[in-house]
């Protein structure tokens, strides 16, 4: 199981993947709004999304857990 | 070595000694090297120099010890891309490339040669560190290992210094890469660390693998001590050769123009740049349209990707590019990106490489995390380096340039030789949304009808946009020129050729107090 963490602080604008869905490395799985910019967050690795730890509109700080991805 | 027909006893003795030296360490160590896809030091040098055109010094170091050929390091002067360079290369088949007193003396001497000849110095590192048994002869003395680092610091900015890391660079030895202009690391084999994982476990109780703590990938993505991550030693050597093509032999010479090439075929800048200031795009695609195809040499590609730094050619003219990458972290500047920018500017400025800034930056990051990490002092390094650079500086405002982001990207106050705006440019203390919020938040909240409120906000956005309209800034002489995106490459080429003779005297003082 691997963890995808926030690379910077911001607000979750939308979630582009669903729990149970297979994602590939480099695929945008979330958009964070920060510094008035829309920032795509890409999966650093492929696998099945096990859990989404954030919700739209919520604040995330740098280093916060966004998704857990299984094999 | 060519054999003469009249070989005498003297020559036989010489040839025997040479054969032993050329063979390096014991066979088992050569086999170990092969297993980990590593090349023998002399094969590395064959790949590095043009047609084996080099001469070695101190070849017979420690020849009487029998088991320490060349004392574990080859030092040589020779030709790379037709230009003279000096090289030190550890032989890890000899006592794991560790340093004895003659090893250190040879490294110091080849550095002295590089300084006297005013040519680049290359460090091909693959060494376990000091020979602890020989420490008094090589560690604390005047011409001990410390002198190597002292020489590196002295030569920094005088001649290019390049590190190719093939294996470990341990403890004190890890400072060789740190004092170089650029560090190329082989994935899986190269590593840098002050204390090995074994030592970390004994001394602080941490259990960690070498790769996690000091591996090439970690250093090129997380710590930023590594600059270029490569898959093989062959690639490391060809990248070092490619890098050097952009540099003069020393600071007193200007880099040479090479044959011009067209830019890579692709979409026009008009198509690449989204109109919506807040939407991401890939700055690499834009850079491809500005530079000669295949000329971009990316430095720290995997580290702080929100700021792209690399050396390229525009119509054959060398240029150092700093570009915000809206695709990564929105192009916002962080502590690491500031460090990356500062070192890159220092590198280009030292060797007369003009600087091109491509700005699309929402500003420096805000929030507790970054303030506690000292974003202000990190940002100060970037701005200080940019401000004190005396090479030609061209500032291009691609889209937004907000707040101190404008400063870092060589905004008008920092004496760029020209500040060019694309029609999509937007220069302001902050973006319209943030500014309207900051100024009118009380009024906005006081309006009860949501429709009316929205209307009010939109009106204020419009007024703000008019105030910072790029033609207004041009009219006020804040920016020097507005250029159609598809003309940018030819405009830059022309400007670079006009600014070739730039000569700014340095302020009279010893040195500034560098922000760190």
Q: Please indicate whether, in this complex, the C-beta atoms of B369 and A9 are within 8 angstroms of each other.
A: yes
Name the band, by pLDDT with cuts 50, 70 and 90, for residue B275. confident
Three-class HEC string of B305-373: CCEEEEEEEECCEEEEEEEECCCCHHHCECHHHHHHHHHHHHHHHHCCCCEEEEEEECCECCCHHHHHC
Q: Which residues contact B161 (CB under 8 A, 6 or more apart)?
A: B120, B121, B122, B123, B152, B155, B179, B180, B181
Q: Please indicate whether, in this complex, the C-beta atoms of A39 and B329 are within 8 angstroms of each other.
A: yes
CA distance B238 to chain A (A): 28
The candidate with the shortest Cα–Cα distance to B213, out of B188, B190, B196, is B196
| Selected residue of B275, B329, B365 to mutate for chain A interface (largest A Cβ count, 10 A) | B329
Contacts of B369 in chain A (CB under 8 A): 9, 61-63
Instruction: Give yes or no for A26 touching B (CB within 8 A).
Output: no
Could you tell me what percent of chain B has a pLDDT over 70?
99
- Whether B3 shows a pLDDT value over 60: the answer reads no
Q: Please compute the mean of the pLDDT values over residues B138-158 and round it to a whole number.
A: 96
CA distance B277 to chain A (A): 8
Name the band, by pLDDT with cuts 50, 70 and 90, for residue B259. very high
How far is Cα B65 from Cα B71, in angstroms, rounded to an integer? 9
Name the band, by pLDDT with cuts 50, 70 and 90, for residue B6. low
Instruction: Give yes or no for B173 touching A (CB within 8 A).
Output: no
How far is Cα A62 from Cα A39, in angstroms, rounded to an integer? 13
The b-or-e profile of B268-282 (16+ CB within 10 A means b, else e) is: ebeebbeeebbebbe
Q: Residue B406: beta bridge partners?
A: none
Q: Which of A7, A35, A63 shows the shortest C-beta gap to B362?
A: A35
Q: Please compute the mean of the pLDDT values over residues B13-42 and round it to a whole number.
A: 96
HSE at residue B69, side-chain half, CA atoms within 13 A, is: 18
Out of B3-7, B251-255, B462-466, least confident range: B3-7
Contact present, B91 and B41 (Cβ < 8 Å): yes
Contact present, B167 and B38 (Cβ < 8 Å): yes
Instruction: Give yes or no for B515 touching A (CB within 8 A).
Output: no
Q: Please indicate whether, in this complex, the C-beta atoms of B280 and A62 are within 8 angstroms of each other.
A: no
Instruction: Give yes or no for B275 touching A (CB within 8 A).
Output: no
Q: Which residues contact B277 (CB under 8 A, 6 or more apart)?
A: B399, B400, B424, B426, B431
Q: How many CB atoms lie within 10 A of CB B511?
A: 8
Measured CA to CA in angstroms, residue B93 lies from B30, B33, B100 at distances of 6, 8, 14
The candidate with the shortest Cα–Cα distance to B350, out of B152, B181, B164, B149, is B181
CA distance B381 to chain A (A): 21
Instruction: Give yes or no for B334 touching A (CB within 8 A).
Output: yes
CA distance B365 to chain A (A): 7
The pLDDT tens digits for B62-108 are 999 989 999 999 999 999 999 999 999 999 999 999 999 999 999 99
Whose tokens are 């990207």? That residue is B409
Q: What is the dihedral of CA A49, A54, A60, A61, to 10 degrees?
A: -50
Contacts of B326 in chain A (CB under 8 A): 37
Q: What is the pLDDT of residue B9?
A: 87
Name the band, by pLDDT with cuts 50, 70 and 90, for residue B7. low
- Whether B258 shows a pLDDT value over 60: the answer reads yes
Q: Which residue has the higher pLDDT, B175 or B422?
A: B422
3-state helix, strand, coil in chain A (%, to 5): 0, 55, 45
Could you tell me what percent of chain B has a pLDDT over 90?
93
Q: Which of A39, A62, A63 shows the shortest C-beta gap to B330?
A: A39
Q: What is the pLDDT of residue B253?
A: 97
Instruction: Give yes or no for B280 touching A (CB within 8 A).
Output: yes
Q: What is the pLDDT of residue B173?
A: 78
- Whether B2 shows a pLDDT value over 70: the answer reads no
Instruction: Give yes or no for A28 touching B (CB within 8 A).
Output: no
Three-class HEC string of B201-239: HHHHCCCCCHHHHHEHHHHHHHHCCCCEEECCHHHHHHH
Name the band, by pLDDT with cuts 50, 70 and 90, for residue B4. low
Contact present, B257 and B316 (Cβ < 8 Å): yes
CA distance A50 to chain B (A): 25
The pLDDT tens digits for B197-254 are 999 999 999 999 999 999 999 999 999 999 999 999 999 999 999 999 999 999 999 9
Tokens in use for B6? 């009249």
Contacts of B334 in chain A (CB under 8 A): 8
State chain B's mean pLDDT as an integer. Answer: 95
Instruction: Give yes or no for A39 touching B (CB within 8 A).
Output: yes
How far is Cα B298 from Cα B309, in angstroms, rounded to an integer? 6
How far is Cα B255 from Cα B240, in angstroms, rounded to an integer? 16
Q: Please compute the mean of the pLDDT values over residues B349-372 and round it to a whole number.
A: 97
Q: Which of A8, A36, A61 shows the shortest C-beta gap to B329?
A: A8
Q: What is the pLDDT of residue B5?
A: 56
The pLDDT tens digits for B376-423 are 999 999 999 999 999 999 999 999 999 999 999 999 999 999 999 999
Contacts of B332 in chain A (CB under 8 A): 8, 34-35, 37
Tokens in use for B266? 């692709």
The candidate with the shortest Cα–Cα distance to B345, out of B307, B315, B402, B397, is B307
Q: What pTM was computed for the model?
A: 0.95
Strand ranges across the sheet with A47-52: A2-5, A65-70, A47-52, A22-23
Q: Which residue has the higher pLDDT, B2 or B286?
A: B286
């Amino acid at each position: 199981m691997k963890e995808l963490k926030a690379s910077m602080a911001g607000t979750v604008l939308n979630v582009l993947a669903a729990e149970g869905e297979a994602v590939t490395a480099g695929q945008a799985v979330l958009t964070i709004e920060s510094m008035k910019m829309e920032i795509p967050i890409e999966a650093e690795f492929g696998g099945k999304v096990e859990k989404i730890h954030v919700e739209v509109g919520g604040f995330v700080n740098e280093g916060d857990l966004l998704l857990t991805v299984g094999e | 070595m060519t054999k003469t027909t009249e070989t005498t006893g003297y020559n036989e003795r010489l040839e025997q000694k040479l054969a032993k030296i050329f063979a390096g360490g014991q066979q088992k160590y050569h086999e170990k090297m092969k297993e980990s896809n590593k090349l023998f030091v002399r094969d590395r040098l064959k790949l590095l120099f043009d047609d084996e055109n080099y001469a070695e010094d101190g070849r017979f170091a420690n020849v009487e010890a029998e088991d320490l050929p060349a004392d574990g390091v080859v030092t040589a002067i020779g030709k790379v891309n037709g230009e003279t360079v000096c090289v030190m290369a550890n032989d890890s088949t000899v006592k794991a490339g560790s340093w004895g007193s003659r090893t250190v003396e040879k490294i110091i001497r080849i550095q002295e040669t590089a300084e006297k000849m005013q040519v680049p110095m290359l460090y091909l590192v693959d060494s376990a560190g000091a020979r602890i048994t020989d420490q008094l002869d090589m560690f604390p003395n005047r011409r001990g290992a410390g002198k190597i680092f002292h020489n590196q610091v002295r030569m920094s900015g005088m001649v290019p210094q390049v590190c190719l890391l093939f294996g470990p660079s341990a403890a004190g030895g890890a400072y060789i890469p740190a004092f170089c202009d650029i560090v190329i690391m082989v994935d899986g084999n190269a590593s840098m660390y002050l204390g090995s994982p074994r030592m970390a476990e004994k001394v602080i109780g941490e259990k960690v693998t070498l790769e996690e703590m000091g591996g090439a990938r970690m250093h090129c993505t997380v710590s930023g001590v590594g600059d270029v991550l490569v898959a093989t030693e062959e690639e490391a050597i060809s990248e070092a050769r490619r890098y050097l093509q952009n540099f003069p032999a020393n600071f007193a010479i200007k880099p040479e123009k090479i044959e011009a090439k067209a830019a890579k075929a692709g979409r026009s800048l008009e198509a690449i740049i989204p109109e919506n200031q807040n939407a991401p795009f890939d700055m690499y695609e834009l850079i491809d349209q500005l530079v000669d195809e295949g000329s971009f040499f990316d430095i720290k590609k995997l580290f702080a990707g929100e700021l792209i730094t690399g050396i390229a050619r525009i119509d054959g003219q060398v240029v150092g590019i700093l570009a915000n990458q809206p695709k990564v972290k929105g192009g916002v500047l962080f502590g690491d990106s500031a460090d990356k920018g500062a070192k890159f500017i220092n590198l280009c400025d030292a060797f007369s490489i003009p600087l091109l800034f491509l700005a699309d930056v929402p500003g420096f990051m805000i929030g507790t995390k970054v303030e506690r990490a000292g974003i202000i002092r990190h940002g100060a390094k970037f701005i200080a380096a940019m401000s004190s650079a005396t090479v030609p500086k061209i500032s291009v405002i691609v889209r937004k340039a907000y707040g101190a982001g404008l400063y870092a990207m060589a905004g008008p106050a920092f004496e760029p030789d020209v500040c060019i705006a694309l029609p999509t440019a937007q220069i302001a203390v902050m973006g319209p949304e943030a500014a309207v919020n900051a100024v009118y938040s009380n009024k906005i909240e006081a309006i009860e009808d949501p429709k009316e409120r929205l209307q009010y906000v939109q009106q204020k956005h419009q007024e703000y946009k008019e105030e910072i309209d790029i033609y207004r800034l041009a009219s006020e002489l804040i920016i020097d020129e507005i250029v159609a995106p598809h003309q940018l490459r030819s405009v830059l080429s022309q400007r670079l050729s006009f600014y070739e003779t730039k000569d700014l005297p340095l302020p009279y003082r010893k040195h500034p107090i560098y922000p760190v």
